[in-house]
Amino acid sequence: MLIEMDSELFCARLKEIRTQRKMTQQDISEKTGIPSTSISHIEAGSRKPSLENFYKLVVVLNVSADYLLGRTEHFSDLGTDPISKSIQGLPESEREMIQKFILSLQKT
Protein backbone atom coordinates (compact mmCIF):
# COMPACT_ATOMS: atom_id res chain seq x y z
CA MET A 1 0.00 0.00 0.00
CA LEU A 2 1.37 3.39 -1.02
CA ILE A 3 0.69 6.31 1.31
CA GLU A 4 0.85 9.80 -0.17
CA MET A 5 0.61 13.18 1.47
CA ASP A 6 -2.08 15.61 0.32
CA SER A 7 0.31 18.40 -0.65
CA GLU A 8 -2.42 20.95 -1.37
CA LEU A 9 -3.97 20.42 2.05
CA PHE A 10 -0.56 20.65 3.72
CA CYS A 11 0.19 23.96 1.98
CA ALA A 12 -3.23 25.40 2.81
CA ARG A 13 -3.03 24.38 6.46
CA LEU A 14 0.51 25.69 6.86
CA LYS A 15 -0.53 29.10 5.53
CA GLU A 16 -3.78 29.01 7.55
CA ILE A 17 -1.96 28.38 10.83
CA ARG A 18 0.74 30.97 10.07
CA THR A 19 -1.93 33.54 9.29
CA GLN A 20 -3.99 32.59 12.32
CA ARG A 21 -0.89 33.06 14.48
CA LYS A 22 -0.51 36.49 12.87
CA MET A 23 2.99 35.61 11.71
CA THR A 24 4.66 36.53 8.44
CA GLN A 25 6.89 34.25 6.45
CA GLN A 26 9.77 36.40 7.68
CA ASP A 27 8.72 35.82 11.31
CA ILE A 28 8.78 32.07 10.70
CA SER A 29 12.15 32.38 8.98
CA GLU A 30 13.69 34.23 11.92
CA LYS A 31 12.42 31.66 14.43
CA THR A 32 13.31 28.54 12.43
CA GLY A 33 16.35 29.52 10.43
CA ILE A 34 14.53 28.44 7.26
CA PRO A 35 14.94 31.11 4.54
CA SER A 36 11.72 33.04 3.95
CA THR A 37 11.94 32.18 0.24
CA SER A 38 11.87 28.48 1.18
CA ILE A 39 8.81 29.04 3.36
CA SER A 40 7.16 30.81 0.44
CA HIS A 41 7.96 27.85 -1.85
CA ILE A 42 6.66 25.37 0.75
CA GLU A 43 3.38 27.29 1.11
CA ALA A 44 3.04 27.50 -2.67
CA GLY A 45 3.60 23.77 -3.00
CA SER A 46 6.64 24.04 -5.23
CA ARG A 47 8.93 22.61 -2.55
CA LYS A 48 8.45 20.11 0.28
CA PRO A 49 10.11 20.71 3.64
CA SER A 50 12.84 18.39 4.90
CA LEU A 51 11.98 16.40 8.00
CA GLU A 52 14.09 18.80 10.08
CA ASN A 53 12.32 21.85 8.65
CA PHE A 54 8.93 20.21 9.07
CA TYR A 55 9.75 19.69 12.75
CA LYS A 56 10.83 23.34 13.10
CA LEU A 57 7.55 24.52 11.54
CA VAL A 58 5.49 22.32 13.86
CA VAL A 59 7.33 23.63 16.93
CA VAL A 60 7.33 27.32 15.97
CA LEU A 61 3.69 27.29 14.90
CA ASN A 62 2.71 25.18 17.91
CA VAL A 63 0.57 22.93 15.76
CA SER A 64 -0.03 19.20 15.56
CA ALA A 65 2.01 17.47 12.85
CA ASP A 66 -1.05 15.30 12.16
CA TYR A 67 -3.10 18.43 11.44
CA LEU A 68 -0.58 19.74 8.91
CA LEU A 69 -0.43 16.33 7.26
CA GLY A 70 -4.22 16.11 6.99
CA ARG A 71 -4.55 13.19 9.42
CA THR A 72 -6.81 15.09 11.85
CA GLU A 73 -9.11 18.08 11.86
CA HIS A 74 -7.75 19.37 15.19
CA PHE A 75 -4.72 21.64 14.87
CA SER A 76 -3.70 21.13 18.47
CA ASP A 77 -2.81 18.09 20.52
CA LEU A 78 -4.46 19.79 23.49
CA GLY A 79 -7.86 18.25 22.87
CA THR A 80 -11.08 20.17 23.30
CA ASP A 81 -10.22 22.23 26.40
CA PRO A 82 -11.84 25.66 25.75
CA ILE A 83 -8.98 27.55 27.41
CA SER A 84 -6.40 25.78 25.26
CA LYS A 85 -8.46 26.43 22.14
CA SER A 86 -8.70 30.14 22.99
CA ILE A 87 -4.97 30.40 23.57
CA GLN A 88 -4.18 28.62 20.28
CA GLY A 89 -5.99 31.35 18.34
CA LEU A 90 -3.93 34.18 19.83
CA PRO A 91 -0.91 35.79 18.20
CA GLU A 92 2.44 34.39 19.28
CA SER A 93 3.36 37.46 21.35
CA GLU A 94 0.21 37.08 23.43
CA ARG A 95 0.75 33.32 23.85
CA GLU A 96 4.29 34.05 25.09
CA MET A 97 2.90 36.57 27.60
CA ILE A 98 0.42 33.99 28.89
CA GLN A 99 3.18 31.41 29.15
CA LYS A 100 5.32 33.81 31.23
CA PHE A 101 2.33 34.51 33.45
CA ILE A 102 1.70 30.80 34.00
CA LEU A 103 5.38 30.23 34.81
CA SER A 104 5.26 33.07 37.35
CA LEU A 105 2.22 31.44 38.99
CA GLN A 106 4.06 28.13 39.22
CA LYS A 107 6.95 29.76 41.10
CA THR A 108 4.71 30.96 43.94
Q: How confident is the model over 15-71, as pLDDT tens digits?
A: 999 998 889 999 999 999 999 999 999 999 999 999 999 999 998 998 888 889 888
Q: What's the pLDDT score for residue 51?
A: 93
**Residue 20: Cβ-neighbour burial (10 angstroms; 0-12, 13-18, 19+):** middle
- Give the pLDDT of residue 95: 81
User: How far is Cα 84 from Cα 80, in angstroms, rounded to an integer?
Assistant: 8
With CA atoms as reference, report the closest residue to 78 among 88, 69, 70, 65. 88
pLDDT at 73: 79
What's the pLDDT band for 107 if we cut at 50, 70, 90? confident
* Fold classified for 7-107: 434 Repressor (Amino-terminal Domain) (1.10.260)
Its pTM stands at 0.69
Q: What is the DSSP letter of 61?
A: H
Distance CA 21, CA 15 (A): 10
